Chain A
């Protein structure tokens, strides 16, 4: 009897291994577990055994039966998985189905990036009107009437002394009129200038203005903040260069150049072979501006700066035509 059981075990294992579909599994099941199967056959022979061997053999037979049942089930589910794979094969090389992707305009993205850097440096965001009075665009910023310093600020007029702001510096005045120092704010927005449209000029563009007014603000602080900004914006290897310049509303004034991000300062077409790119105008707030808003110039000092968002976006993304921003070709918008 013991030997028989062993034989069945081995032959079952052998046959199970070779079974590879439902039919062969079924015939194995019938062969071993069927009514006239090998297990039943041995069960039938139990009464012929001696009383001391009967219980032992009965137990072993039952164990064998359960084991065979389990293994058959296991094999069956394995075969099922395989057959499923075979039946529903898909062509994974067919194109994926994409959801339509939303995109922010590259100017918004650039502006957000600029804002975020200054926010991390403690600045807040402020805004002002685009339709302005001459006073805010010029006089309060120490740009006198009919002075050649106005040449740089050709302006669209609406009626009388109402105009479209030609720079965001107007918002400096508006903030200072409303609040007392300390002030630490940036002012993004649209500005307008009567420039004929070409690859590098637009009658409408975006600027970000910055202002910090407090006790003891120094020119070196201006340098530090803008150097940090350009490094975060264009990469930590970016170098800055401050050149003396003239803006009526700041003194001392500076133009800020960064080392060309294309050629890394070696000289290329983008930087007109100078190795430098002009990206910011800046300076210490002119005491006359403080006087115009009623601040005491002996008590407070401050710095201001301004930059063109399109210019920065063009450098950052390698865009060579400013008109692309306002044509809104979706093949362009998709890229950012």
Chain B
């Protein structure tokens, strides 16, 4: 809201530097976002919070200044406290006014003003209107706007002679049309409130007047509306029509019912003065009761909430300056809330009023007692931290991608539509669903970086995937891992690309560190992966992770030409199995003996089948089996491959004799030949 410094000075004596004033008001909760100089004046730009509609007026702001600077507020006689306006009997009004829907229109007042001379406003008035950010129209419209800004009460002047028959305040009929003063025709619905004459709607209540009854140069007599409309109704209408006005903004936030007639009176007097119109009869129907509440403030409570002692004298003074009626009692203050402060409903609201005018900066800094939590984090958080720690140690970089993605991004991943959580009001199709997997986010980042010529990409994300199952929503934390490009390339080592065994190795290390030792890698079919390079990790009979090479078609939809190796770990499934406690194992005291074993096996014979036999036969004496080399080529037939294992034999009880190792080694070889048809090189 724009407020002119000169205008403010009409209601309060201030000579303060505008910067200082802006600061003082901001520190009292009336936020000045900015201020600037114009010719002969300064304009403040206020940001008024939703709870303070009383500050959406020059007088409201002046009142705050009077409280902060402890200066007297001067207001025009029409709107002074306790001012009574003489009403006319209904019969004396030439047209009848009726409220058909009192749930949407709480109160309606109409006054007739005759023989106005519509013309350009005087300069001082035009200046005021411009300072508030509006365009001057004519003296009548400008006066209603002037008083709107002055008091916060929106009003509308109709051309009385263009109103056909009587006035009825009613809900619109479905599709009923009205052309506003902006010349735009709009169709209404049954939730909207209209001001209608006997034939047509003449205004959208609280939002905009109609073109047909607009005050123009030819207007002689006017009907001045000052009303109190249902805030929710005005808000809905304004939102549905996409039409917001100075009036609707104030009605939405609730106007002061105590100002309805006073503001009307103020407009009438100004019209008399500026446009020569004669005040005619006024009627006022509906709820005339304005907000009022009596609240007791316990000063001890106030002190123990704020952590500072404010004297009764000071507290009373603050409340009085904000126009509360005060009655001091022993240890407490009884305050009657003025009609324009409906936000003040109870003791805590009074405490806040005192605190903000007293000054937050005068409240000391203290430290509360510590509650004493016995645990700092849930185990799942501890595990997440641990995983991040392990993966960064392994050289991976963490990414964070959007949880909202384009629906097309999950095409071809084998995800059923009915588990996908979709937004009702997405901003764009790129954010229409919640991700049911972290793969699209990962591929998006890989594509983005490859396009920027990144060579080495080893990334992970820990985040939620979202699904719907029978109207219940699931948020499951998963780990996603993506590798692409060159694993390493230096002047010392030959260029090496990432492959499946890099993702596998990361998973093995990670799960080992999490205390899950008996994991099994199984060949797996997942739509997202190249069927040949796809695996699942099983732990205690349950699949806890999937990994593989992302298939070409999916990569194509992300414009990725390089191979991408990806894995997802379903952390929730292993949470109860994770053991982060480390136990020391006794170091072997006796020397170990290593023997290499070079096997030639059919290609279908798996490495784990071989190592299983080695471990099985070797029992406790085989401490370690490493695969040293794997070769296919000229020296062996096409259906076979050669594998070189290095076996470490060691006993925990004694030094092994060569002969004993030789014997065991031969037993292992025999078993391999017998069970897997393996030969040796």
Contacts and interface: CB of A to CB of B under 8 A. Distances in A.
Q: Do A and B bind each other?
A: yes
Interface of A: 94-95, 97, 99-105, 107-108, 119, 121-127, 129-131, 146-149, 151-152, 156-159, 162, 164, 182-185, 190, 192, 194-196, 203-204, 212, 214, 216-221, 223-225, 227-228, 241-246, 248, 251-254, 284, 286-287, 301, 325-331, 333-334
Given A159-B424, A227-B365, A102 B394 contact: yes
Most B-side CB within 10 Å, residue of A159, A195, A241: A159
B152 to A, nearest CB: 14
Contact of A148 (B252, B351, B395, B399): B252
A284 B397 CA distance: 40
A103 B306 contact: no
B377 A125 contact: yes
B291 interface: no
Given A105-B398, A243-B27, A330-B454, A127 B378 contact: yes
Interface string B380-410: 0100000010011111111111111000000
Q: Give the 5 A-B CB pairs with smallest separation, nearest first.
A: A220-B307, A244-B29, A102-B392, A218-B307, A122-B370
B421 A158 contact: yes
Given A216-B304, A218-B304, A246-B52, A130 B475 contact: yes
B373 A223 contact: no
A57 B377 CA distance: 86
A104 B488 contact: no
A121 B422 CA distance: 40
Given A146-B235, A328-B449, 9 more contacts: A103-B392, A127-B378, A157-B424, A185-B373, A190-B403, A219-B355, A220-B306, A228-B367, A326-B402
A119 to B, nearest CB: 6
A220 B363 contact: yes
B642 to A, nearest CB: 31
B31 interface: yes
Contact of B356 (A157, A183, A252, A333): A252
Given A125-B376, A131-B473, A194-B425, A328 B445 contact: yes
A254 B50 contact: no
Contacts of A126: 378
B151 interface: no
A219 B448 contact: no
Given A124-B373, A252-B351, A224 B252 contact: no
A215 to B, nearest CB: 9
B26 interface: yes
11 contacts: A102-B397, A122-B371, A131-B473, A147-B50, A195-B427, A219-B307, A223-B363, A244-B28, A328-B459, A330-B397, A333-B398
A121 B367 CA distance: 9
Interface in B529-574: none
B403 A130 contact: yes
Contacts of A203: 402, 404, 427, 431
Nearest to A98: B490
Contacts of B475: 129-131
User: Chain B CB within 10 Å — which of A151, A190, A245, A286 has the most?
Assistant: A245
Contacts of B490: 95, 97
A221 B355 contact: no
A74 to B, nearest CB: 35
Contact of A212 (B51, B349, B371): B371
A147 B392 CA distance: 47
Nearest to B487: A100
A165 to B, nearest CB: 11
Interface string B360-378: 1101111111111101111
B243 interface: no
Contact of B368 (A119, A224, A244): A224
Given A125-B378, A220-B366, A252 B355 contact: yes
Contacts of A123: 373
Interface in B263-319: 304-308
A184 B371 contact: yes
A331 B373 CA distance: 40
A127 B377 CA distance: 10
Contacts of A162: 473
A93 B253 CA distance: 72
Given A119-B376, A131-B473, A244-B28, A334 B363 contact: no
A196 B430 CA distance: 12
A241 B361 contact: yes
Interface residues of B, number: 87
Contact of B423 (A156, A216, A224, A228): A156
B367 A221 contact: yes
A200 B456 CA distance: 30
A251 B29 CA distance: 12
Interface of B: 26-29, 31, 49-52, 231-232, 235-236, 252-253, 304-308, 346, 348-349, 351-352, 355-356, 360-361, 363-373, 375-378, 381, 388, 391-404, 421-427, 431, 434, 445, 448-449, 452, 454, 456-459, 464, 466, 473, 475, 488, 490-493
A322 B365 CA distance: 33
Contact of B395 (A100, A228, A301, A327): A100
A100 B458 contact: yes
Contact of B403 (A147, A151, A204, A221): A204
B56 to A, nearest CB: 11
Contact of B404 (A119, A204, A221, A287): A204
Contacts of B307: 218-221, 223
Contacts of A105: 397-400
B394 to A, nearest CB: 6
B371 A108 contact: no
Contact of A103 (B29, B365, B398, B456): B398
**Most chain A CB within a 10 A radius of its CB, from B29, B231, B349:** B29
Nearest to B351: A252
Contacts of B49: 245-246
Contacts of A246: 29, 49-52
Contacts of B401: 326, 328
B376 A224 contact: no
B363 A212 contact: no
Nearest to B492: A97
Contact of A327 (B369, B427, B448, B459): B448
B424 A225 contact: no
A263 B50 CA distance: 32
A137 to B, nearest CB: 14
B491 A95 contact: yes
Given A162-B473, A204-B404, A104 B366 contact: no
A253 B492 CA distance: 62
A251 B352 contact: yes
Contacts of A196: 427
B421 A151 contact: no
B369 A214 contact: yes
Nearest to B382: A125
Nearest to A283: B352
B29 A104 contact: no
Contacts of B492: 97
Nearest to B488: A100
B12 to A, nearest CB: 20
Nearest to A301: B305
A220 B51 contact: no
Nearest to A223: B365
Contacts of B425: 156-157, 194
A101 B50 CA distance: 49
A219 B306 contact: yes
Given A119-B376, A333-B398, A152 B421 contact: no
B428 to A, nearest CB: 8
Nearest to B424: A157
Contact of B29 (A101, A212, A245, A284): A245
A251 B355 CA distance: 10
Given A102-B395, A212-B371, A127 B365 contact: no
Nearest to A146: B232
A264 to B, nearest CB: 19
A301 B367 CA distance: 15
